[in-house]
């Protein structure tokens, strides 16, 4: 065990997987200098420029060449710098990577990981702050992962790299510096499994990524009045319906909290699924808490308008458990 940041946990996972499999490689802008946040620091020195590839600012080519390289049997890790920039490569991800195996009748596979640093961080404004995970969950063929802790960033990135499907891997920028004890010899974590972060009796809160910390802070504010069960989804597609439904069966109440815009957000999918499966067992209507449908503004007081704060989560929890 050692104390690792969320960022270093991801770097260690990639380093271990690159040592394990010579066909794993990474490509993206500025990787030779460690990547924009330092997630690749030191890797080019160990693996060389053929496996830690410094690319032009050509997002479509970064994603599209990775698809071609994956189809011939390598395992590219695609760095998109900011999730917002992955929008320059939507055809390559959605029309090519996600569909190649299916369209070709199973002849090829596209085992790539797309790392998309996401979410609000240091007043980055409208084009560097988005949480677009729901879009990807809508696309058949893709796996969508959003780790919330250093332990999960280590175990899930390893799993994503070993996965034969294209995986959209959304690290939250506001978590880079968060530290925890990480077992560096741990096996990859299973994709599609949620983690119960906190056990409780009255209300299930489902969340993921950067919002987990806000929800934990809300639970601390509430001090067990009401008693909150927190589930970190970790993987958004496939999502752990079993764990969520088992928890809501017990508590009878569900609140989904996410940083993304609430309209059309992934919370809607969870709310609808739980309402369909457990309508008769619910003690209160299912509730969602997400951002209003406005772009992320720059000035801190404006950014605070779209960001879910622990106090809002606590208020929603109290309102649900009267």
Partner 1 sequence: MAGPPRSNFDAERMLAHYRLMTRIRAFEETAEAALKAGEVKGAIHLSIGQEATAAGVCANLRRSDLIASNHRGHGHTIAKGASPEAMMAELFGRATGTCQGKGGSMHIADFEIGMLGANGVVGAGILIAVGAAQGVRLRGEDRVVACFFGDGAINRGPFLEGLNWAKIYALPVLFVCEDNGFAATTRTAALSAGGGPDVRAQSLGIPATIVDGNDVAAVDDAARELVQRIRAGSGPQFLLARTYRLKGHTAADAAAYRSAEEVAARQQDEPLGRCAEALKLAGIEARTLDEIAETARLEMAAAAAAARAAPWPSRELAWSDVQDVGAPLAGAR
Label residues 204-218 b or e (16+ Cβ within 10 Å = b).
Answer: bbbbbbbbbbbbbeb
CB of 120 to partner 1, least distance (A): 28
13 versus 67: smaller Cβ distance to partner 1: 67
Q: For residue 128, indicate whether it is catalytic.
A: yes
Rg over alpha carbons for the chain, rounded to the nearest Å, is 19
Q: At closest approach, how far in Å is the CB of 142 from partner 1?
A: 7
- The position carrying tokens 């063929």 is 141
Among 92, 133, 202, 269, binds partner 1 (CB under 8 A): 92
CB 252 within 8 A of CB 320: no
Could you write out the DSSP letters of every residue in 86-127?
Answer: GGGGHIIIIIIITTHHHHTTTS-----EEE--BS--SS--TT
96 binds partner 1 (CB under 8 A): yes
Q: Which stretch binds partner 1 (CB under 8 A): 60-68, 172-180, 280-288, 311-319?
A: 60-68
Helix axes 150-162, 6-20, angle to 10 degrees: 30
Position 292 contacts partner 1 (CB under 8 A): no
Token pair 């772009």 is at which residue? 295
Q: Which is nearer to partner 1, 4 or 26 (CB)?
A: 26
Count of residues binding partner 1 (CB under 8 A)?
47
Single residue of 105, 280, 292, 301 touching partner 1 by CB under 8 A = 105
CB-wise, 106 or 301, nearer to partner 1? 106
CB of residue 44 vs partner 1: minimum separation in angstroms? 15
278 binds partner 1 (CB under 8 A): no
72 binds partner 1 (CB under 8 A): yes
CB atoms inside a 10 Å sphere around CB 131 = 26
Per CB under 8 A, the segment of 51-59, 149-157, 220-228, 282-290 that binds partner 1 is: 51-59
Of 223 and 242, the one with the shorter C-beta distance to partner 1 is 242
Locate 3 and state its tokens: 């104390």
Selected from 34, 41, 65, 264, the binder of partner 1 by CB under 8 A is: 65
Tell me if the bond preceding 33 is cis, omega within 30° of 0.
Answer: no
Task: Please provide residue 3's backbone torsions phi and psi, each rounded to the nearest 5 degrees.
Answer: -80, 120
Residue 194's SS3 state is coil
- Note the residues at the interface with partner 1 (CB under 8 A): 23, 25, 50-51, 53, 55-56, 58, 60-61, 63-74, 91-92, 95-96, 100-108, 140-143, 163-165, 167, 191-192, 237-238
Catalytic residues: 128
């Amino acid at each position: 065990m050692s104390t690792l940041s969320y960022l270093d946990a991801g770097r260690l996972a990639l380093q271990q997987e690159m040592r394990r499999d010579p066909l794993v490689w990474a490509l993206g802008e500025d990787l030779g200098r460690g990547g924009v946040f330092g997630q690749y620091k030191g890797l080019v020195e160990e693996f060389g420029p053929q496996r830690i590839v410094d690319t032009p600012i050509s997002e479509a080519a970064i994603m599209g060449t990775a698809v071609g390289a994956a189809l011939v049997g390598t395992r590219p890790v695609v760095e998109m710098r900011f999730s917002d920039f992955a929008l320059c490569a939507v055809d390559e991800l959605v029309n090519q990577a996600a569909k190649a195996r299916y369209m070709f009748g199973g002849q090829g596979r596209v085992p790539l990981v797309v790392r998309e640093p996401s979410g609000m961080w240091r007043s980055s404004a409208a084009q560097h702050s988005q949480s677009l995970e729901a879009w990807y969950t809508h696309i058949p063929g893709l796996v969508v992962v959003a780790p919330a802790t250093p332990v999960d960033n280590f175990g899930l990135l390893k799993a994503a790299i070993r996965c034969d499907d294209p995986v959209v891997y959304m690290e939250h920028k506001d978590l880079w510096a968060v530290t925890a004890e990480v077992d560096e010899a741990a096996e990859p974590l299973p994709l599609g499994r949620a983690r119960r972060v906190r056990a409780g009796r009255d209300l299930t809160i489902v969340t993921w990524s950067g919002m987990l910390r806000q929800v934990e802070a809300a639970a601390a504010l509430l001090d067990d009045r009401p008693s909150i069960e927190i589930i970190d989804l970790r993987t958004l597609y496939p999502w752990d319906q079993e764990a969520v439904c088992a928890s809501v069966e017990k508590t009878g109440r569900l609140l989904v909290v996410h940083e993304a815009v609430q309209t059309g957000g992934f919370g809607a999918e969870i709310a609808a699924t739980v309402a369909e499966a457990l309508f008769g067992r619910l003690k209160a209507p299912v509730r969602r808490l997400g951002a209003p449908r406005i772009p992320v503004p720059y000035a801190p007081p404006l950014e605070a308008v779209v960001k879910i704060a622990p106090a809002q989560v606590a208020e929603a929890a109290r309102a649900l458990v009267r």
